[in-house]
């Protein structure tokens, strides 16, 4: 074996990789927050007594869960732009990630809401809580506590899925790694570093989730 490892290229270009990491974090956190809002609304529509709302939410969830994310991304970036509105790379990436995560979050949150027994809701009413407080304290918070591990797992997958947006030249970590590889021709070193960074990001997300879980739900373990 005559290949000579040159990891010095990683240290020489760490600011470039850091820029990719920063955009990956921005896209992941932004899509998580927006996707949770979409998922909550979608879950309420899925359990709604209104047939139209249930049908629309079902179509949305099934359409997203049964098509590849890359197709969704290209449809938003190229398809929507062909109709008139022009989306930038990062805007299209954020929108695609939000829509994708929102569909999965819809089903996860719906399962959590449906796990709440009617007796708990009646108890909230007997305490004189209004509808908003019943939903927020009696339904939503316990529901999220029960689905928290699944939700965090999906958020981690969202962060890893963000690598696909490099296909539309959104300059996140994978795009940056590929650019650096093409400039230095050190494929092994560059993508080894990129893989390690993704592992560290995953651990960071899980640690942050664990700390939030302990603060919000007062449990010591969830994973």
Domains detected in the chain: 12-217 (1.10.3720.10)
The Cα–Cα gap between 61 and 107 comes to 8
> At residue 220, does pLDDT exceed 70?
no
pLDDT recorded at residue 20: 96
The confidence band for 110, taking pLDDT boundaries of 50, 70 and 90, is very high
Mean pLDDT of the chain: 90
The confidence band for 122, taking pLDDT boundaries of 50, 70 and 90, is confident
Structure tokens at 210: 């664990």
Structure tokens at 221: 């373990």
Tell me: the pLDDT tens digits for 192-216? 999 999 999 999 999 999 888 888 7
> At residue 219, does pLDDT exceed 50?
no
pLDDT recorded at residue 216: 76
The Cα–Cα gap between 191 and 90 comes to 22
Helices (H), 2-74: 8-12, 14-46, 51-65, 69-74
Confirm whether pTM is higher than 0.85: yes
Tell me: the pLDDT tens digits for 133-160? 777 778 778 888 889 999 999 999 999 9
């Amino acid at each position: 074996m005559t290949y000579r490892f040159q990891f010095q290229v990683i240290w020489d270009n760490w600011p470039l990789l850091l820029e990719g990491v920063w955009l990956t974090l921005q896209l992941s956190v932004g899509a998580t927050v927006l996707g949770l809002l979409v998922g909550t609304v979608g879950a309420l529509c899925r359990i709604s007594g209104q047939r139209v709302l249930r049908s629309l939410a079902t179509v949305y969830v099934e359409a997203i869960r049964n098509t590849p994310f890359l197709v969704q991304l290209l449809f938003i970036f190229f398809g929507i732009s062909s109709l008139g509105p022009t989306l930038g790379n990062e805007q299209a990436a954020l929108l695609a990630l939000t829509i994708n995560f929102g569909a999965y979050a819809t089903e996860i949150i719906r399962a959590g809401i449906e796990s709440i027994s009617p007796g708990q809701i009646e108890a909230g009413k007997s305490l004189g809580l209004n509808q908003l407080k019943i939903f927020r304290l009696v339904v939503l918070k316990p529901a999220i506590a029960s689905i928290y591990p699944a939700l965090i797992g999906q958020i981690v997958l969202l962060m890893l899925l963000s690598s696909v947006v490099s296909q539309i030249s959104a300059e996140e970590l994978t795009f940056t790694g590929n650019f650096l590889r093409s400039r230095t021709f050190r494929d092994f070193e560059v993508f080894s570093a990129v893989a390690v960074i993704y592992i560290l990001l995953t651990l960071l997300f899980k640690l942050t989730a664990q700390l939030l879980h302990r603060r919000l739900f007062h449990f010591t373990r969830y994973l």
